[in-house]
Amino acid sequence: MTQIRVELGEHSYPILVQPGALARAATHLQEFASNNRLFVLTDNHVGSNLLPILQHAFAESGIDLIVSSLPAGEASKSWQRLETVTDWLLAQGVERSDTLVALGGGVIGDLTGFAAAIVKRGCGFVQIPTSLLAQVDSSVGGKTAINSSVGKNLIGSFNQPRFVLIDPLVLNSLPDRELRAGYAEVVKYGLINDAVFFAWCEANSKQILDRDPDALSEAIVHSVRAKALIVGEDEKELSGRRALLNLGHTFGHALEAETGFSDKLVHGEAVAAGMALAFGYSVRRGHCDAEDAERVRAHLESVDLPYNLTTASVRASGQRLVDHMMHDKKMSGGSLPFLLANGIGHTFLAKDVDLEDVAAFLDEAA
């Protein structure tokens, strides 16, 4: 069992990583059950596998779980679903002293966190992330959002959970593709500022993707520690520190937009290709040795993650992809900051990137 703390003054909170923690959830969550109840939001995929474990954990606890199960998928991050959820909470008599529990992946976590931010002007929430991507990234750090017709995650708030409970065993039922996509975000922490961890990933990726419990737990703990540290330094992405977590996301966003944010290319896959492109572009600009970019590409290929436009199944001109980037929410003052690298473990924020040059690079990188 490992406990990690996100240090944010009065908004600080613990993250528990423990194989089997879901089955012991009543012990971990009882302090949040004011009025002897918790409001659980989940989706119909996760709910059928993991909700019974949560319900069993609370069976003898004297705490009621009031559950709403939403349709699985990105479409649930909508105004309409948010309204359904908040109406349901109000109809159940939710109070500000109550706590919502997000049992699911990033969609459930983002929607629940945002509902918790606004219902009755804010109640508490805890995260029980059930995908690798949610465990190592989206459940930590308090970014909550729904999508708008203009783009993804454009309506939301920073709202920190009170507790994050991570059970690596729940990943046993995660489809292989989702596990690999989440692994891209694990690799990201090595590429950002930890070359030793990247080398560890190279040596241990097979065990992680084979769901070896020790390797998986180590990957999760290391990633969560790295994220907790960065979020503690720059909660609201103001100093440039938290922006490092967006490595691969600007190129990746363009690929996701081109594939319609669909199952053709899921978020973690887009981030994988985006990171390889960010390293390739860093070589073009003279920041990074070609051997480092090749090492990144080779590692992503070795775990069957996309590493360029072809392997991401994207056929589009560089200009078209740059047009997608212009709608990225990271646009600031008419320009787009890019995460580039001086090498593995040495990512930096570049604010002087010429988008015509990016378009030319993408035409060559296809």
Residue 279 carries which side chain, given as an amino acid letter? F
Q: Is 227 a catalytic residue?
A: yes
Q: Is 206 a catalytic residue?
A: no
Does the protein bind ligand GLY through residue 242 (CB under 6 A)? yes
CA distances from 118 to 42, 125, 138, 144 (A): 19, 12, 19, 11
Between residues 152 and 242, which has the closer beta carbon with respect to ligand GLY? Answer: 242
Q: Is 235 a catalytic residue?
A: no
Does the protein bind ligand GLY through residue 191 (CB under 6 A)? no
Tokens 């891209």 belong to which residue?
184
Out of 104, 109, 124, 141, name the contact with ligand GLY by CB under 6 A.
141
* Cα–Cα dist 352/332, whole Å: 12
Within residues 17-56, the interface with ligand GLY by CB under 6 A covers: none
Q: Is 159 a catalytic residue?
A: no
Q: Is 152 a catalytic residue?
A: no
Minimum CB–partner distance for residue 213 and ligand GLY (Å): 25
Q: Is 237 a catalytic residue?
A: yes
Q: Which stretch binds ligand GLY (CB under 6 A): 74-82, 137-145, 150-158, 328-336?
A: 137-145
Query: Which of these is catalytic: 77, 180, 188, 227?
Result: 227
Does the protein bind ligand GLY through residue 278 (CB under 6 A)? no
* Cα–Cα dist 243/350, whole Å: 11
Contact 173, 47 (CB under 8 A): no
Pinpoint the alpha helices (H) of 160-248: 176-193, 195-209, 213-233
Q: Is 356 a catalytic residue?
A: no
Between residues 91 and 238, which has the closer beta carbon with respect to ligand GLY? Answer: 238
Query: Which of these is catalytic: 28, 222, 249, 324?
Result: 249
Alpha-carbon torsion 212, 203, 221, 116, what sign? negative
Query: Which of these is catalytic: 178, 185, 218, 256?
Result: 185
* Cα–Cα dist 133/180, whole Å: 9
Q: Tokens at residue 63, please?
A: 């705490």
Report which secondary-structure segment, H or E, holds 191.
helix 176-193
Does the protein bind ligand GLY through residue 143 (CB under 6 A)? yes
Residue 327 carries which side chain, given as an amino acid letter? H
Q: What residues make contact with ligand GLY under the rule CB under 6 A?
A: 137, 141, 143, 242, 245
Catalytic residues, by residue number, are 121, 143, 185, 227, 237, 242, 246, 249, 253, 267
